[in-house]
Amino acid sequence: MRVNLYKHREERTIEPGTFANLVSHTLYERRFGPYFVEPVIAGLDKNQQPFICNMDLIGNINYAKDFVVCGTASDNLFGMCESLWEPDLGPEDLFEMVSQALLNAVDRDAMSGWGAVVHIITPDGTITRELKGRMD
């Protein structure tokens, strides 16, 4: 609802940085009875530059230039992403890197689930693919 109010008031679509602040304020309003979420916000700004950040459950924003991780497998994900991430990867190479990091981290954490959905955001559009993990 707040995004729609922003669109009508500003007469433009919301940028990722502004949306991150909106989500942060919404979470901070509920700090004494928080939503138990760790949002990740990613997108392209008006200059087609990547924007990525994540937050804790009371809305503290963590801006990043390379990658962010969250969830039950965040410790495993952090190590995998540090070892596999390289700057200026193309969409296919980025998908391979994200897929390897997710599947290897999820295999080591029983609470993470059996797969993932990967969204690659490019100036031409969004590429969405599903990953299936081990089911044992």
- pLDDT tens digits, residue range 2-44? 999 999 999 999 999 999 999 999 999 999 999 999 999 999 9
Confidence grade of residue 65 (pLDDT, cut at 50, 70, 90): very high
Residue showing tokens 């391979």: 96
Spatial separation of the C-alpha atoms in residues 33 and 4, rounded to whole Å: 25
pLDDT tens digit sequence for 79-101:
999 999 999 999 999 999 999 99
Residue showing tokens 């008031």: 9
Q: At 33, is the secondary structure helix, strand, or coil?
A: coil
What is the residue type of 130? E
Confidence grade of residue 135 (pLDDT, cut at 50, 70, 90): confident
Q: Give mean pLDDT, residues 103-126.
A: 88
Confidence grade of residue 111 (pLDDT, cut at 50, 70, 90): confident
Q: Which of 40-49, 103-112, 125-134 has the lowest mean pLDDT?
A: 103-112
- Backbone phi and psi for residue 109, each to the nearest 5 degrees, phi listed first: -135, 110
Q: Which helix (H) or strand (E) holds 128?
A: strand 125-132
Residue 90 makes CB contacts below 8 A (sequence gap 6+) with none
